[in-house]
Chains A and B, each alone.
Chain A
Amino acid sequence: MRIPRTLIVGGIIVAAICILAAIGPWITPFEPDAFAVRERLLPPSTAHWFGTDEFGRDVFSRVLAGAHHSLLMGFGATALSLTIGVPLGMIAAFRRGWTEEVIMRGVDLMISIPPVLLGLLILAVTDPGLLKTMIAVGLVYVPIMTRVSRAVALGLLAEDFVEAARARGEGAYHILAREILPNAWPPLIVETSLRITFAILLGSALSFLGLGPQPPDSEWGLMIAESRPFISEAPWIGLAPGLCLCFLLISVNVVGEGLRDLLDPRLRGRGHG
């Protein structure tokens, strides 16, 4: 199997971003929350790479210190939707009958709410925060994961090796965990990698709307929202986190498409979904 070049390049970039985000809070050149009244709204310079904001805080330090939020929302939420969605989908495929009916009708129901709205609904009545936003985004994508893993499992359940396991008298758990799951990974990984982009997008959009981490936190969506009153005086306050977010999204997307090329060449050239 030849590894696509885009996957290698994208993988290195995403890994670098992850490392930067992980050590970010400790290597900021300035204190991300320190006010400096004399240094308000300074344009980018060699001292302040991304300029300073309305409180004189260094935007570069804030972007660096806030990077982990987007990653946590993207990867954490997707992990959550996997841990709930995959077992649900597999059980639906294995049990059929009314179990499947109940699970899949629930999925239909969740899918008939537009994603942003479902996120808003979950976050509307609780106090906002990083963890809650992550959970909300994760729940939004549970139904899609359930659908995908059910479809994958249905296909695999018709295979001979499952028949053999059944003939050996193996139980449901063994068949799902030992026979189906290891073979279901490639399509699930492809779906997961594409979901991460959407999860980052949705999480930062919810933060932008004020339903994520709260000030003085420096989540990127929140930073962009806070920069709006200063858009004409100091556009760098919003541009810096925005461009970083775009860079992150494009890198994750490149990895996703690379994985798709590697694991499922049949899917090449298909549209987004």
Chain B
Amino acid sequence: MAGFLLRRFASVVFVLWAMTVLVFAIVHILPGSVAHMILGEYATEAAIAALEERLGLNQPLYVQYWHWFTGLLRGDFGVSLTMDRPAAPLILESLGKSAILAGISIVLVAIIGIALGIHSATHVGTWSDRGLTLMQYFFIAVPEFFWCILVILFFAVWLGWLPATGYSPISEAGILGWARHLILPVATLVLGLIAHISRLVRSSMLEAIESRYVLAARAKGLPERIVLRRHALPNALLPAITILAVDIGILIGGIVVVESVFAYPGLGRMLIYAIDNQDIPLMMGGMIVITTIYALANLVADILYAVLNPRIRVSGSAG
């Protein structure tokens, strides 16, 4: 176990380091000068030279990378070009807001998705199972950004129940006002993922129910409820952990979209803002923070999987 943990941890560290190289390389090696992009087409040579001087862009690439990388290790993400403030606190603040969205969504997805999957598997062929399967099919096929439009249209424009966009902190609007702004973004985020998870839990639960150990448990005369809970469920939930980790990747993508539609001040919206305004330090910092979180989430999922299923020691990452 210790060896597995160590190997897995080392690979996460390697991936994160390689990620800093990749992000840096893509931003700096792709055609187009950064200073040109910031100042626009009509910038004078002198202005470009001055900005390159200020940003250290006239230094060799490996020096620039080393500055940036050692800065990252110290928690210094550079200075945001458009806001003229250190990028790290900006990123941290919006990360907190995104974490609220992501946390609530993951909990809801896990609970509702698994519950629906179990319900479908234990009620195969009934109306509720068929209805759920059909709904899952549609929920998976509708793009997230279109869900945003649909829920805004329905709940904010037509019914007028909830605010369409924005965020209000608890300190100003109270818990209720805070929660009202979260309902639509969270709903949009979880719909597709719940469908995804519940489909998977349904099929792995069905596999477990048809297995020999469940047959053996039934043959012992155990009540069906106990057979399902003690024997079928734990085995059926193992693959759900891996899928939940994959879904965190989808969730991160969803958060970028949902935050920019709902004007929610999180990390995803900040990233799009940084890209639109060519705020390179903010963009690179945001990318690194998000990939770090994703890598850690995958690490946690792998460890959980190994702890719960000691027979299998997977060496690769979940993908």
Interface residues of A (CB under 8 A from B): 108-109, 111-117, 120-126, 143-144, 147, 197, 201, 204-205, 208-211, 221, 224-225, 227-228, 231-232, 235, 238-239, 242, 245-246, 249-250, 253, 269-273
Which secondary structure dominates where chain B touches chain A? helix
Contact across chains for A113 and B199 when beta carbons are under 8 A apart:
no
Contact across chains for A250 and B257 when beta carbons are under 8 A apart:
no
A246 partner, pick from B23, B141, B200, B290, beta carbons under 8 A: B141
Interface residues of B (CB under 8 A from A): 11, 15, 18-19, 22-23, 26-27, 30-32, 34, 37, 137-138, 140-146, 149-150, 152-153, 157, 164, 196, 199-200, 203-204, 206, 243, 246, 248-250, 252-254, 256-257, 260-261, 271-272, 275-276, 278, 283, 287, 290-291, 294-295, 298, 316-317, 319
Most buried by B among A121, A147, A227, A238: A121
Contact across chains for A205 and B145 when beta carbons are under 8 A apart:
yes
Give the nearest-CB partner of B240 in chain A.
Answer: A271
If A116-B256, A271-B196 touch, does A250 touch B317 (CB 8 Å cutoff)? no
Question: In the assembly, what is the distance between CA of A233 and CA of B41, in Å?
Answer: 37
If A126-B31, A271-B199 touch, does A221 touch B145 (CB 8 Å cutoff)? yes
**Chain A residues whose C-beta falls within 8 Å of the C-beta of B27 in the assembled complex:** 124-125
Contact across chains for B149 and A114 when beta carbons are under 8 A apart:
no
What are 20 A-B contacts with C-beta separation under 8 Å?
A108-B317, A112-B15, A112-B317, A114-B253, A115-B253, A117-B253, A124-B275, A125-B30, A147-B319, A209-B256, A224-B146, A242-B149, A246-B141, A246-B142, A246-B143, A250-B137, A250-B138, A270-B203, A271-B199, A271-B200
Tell me the smallest distance from the CB of A84 to a CB of chain B, in Å. Answer: 17
Give the nearest-CB partner of B195 in chain A.
Answer: A272
Contact across chains for B146 and A235 when beta carbons are under 8 A apart:
no
Give the nearest-CB partner of B298 in chain A.
Answer: A112
Question: In the assembly, what is the distance between CA of A271 and CA of B247, in Å?
Answer: 13
A125 partner, pick from B32, B243, B250, beta carbons under 8 A: B32
Contact across chains for A112 and B291 when beta carbons are under 8 A apart:
yes
A-B contact number at CB 8 A: 145
Which secondary structure dominates where chain A touches chain B? helix
Question: In the assembly, what is the distance between CA of A122 and CA of B254, in Å?
Answer: 18
Contact across chains for A235 and B19 when beta carbons are under 8 A apart:
no
Contact across chains for B319 and A144 when beta carbons are under 8 A apart:
yes
Question: In the assembly, what is the distance between CA of A114 and CA of B98, in Å?
Answer: 16
Contact across chains for B30 and A126 when beta carbons are under 8 A apart:
yes
Contact across chains for A116 and B252 when beta carbons are under 8 A apart:
yes
If A112-B19, A116-B252, A116-B257 touch, does A271 touch B203 (CB 8 Å cutoff)? yes
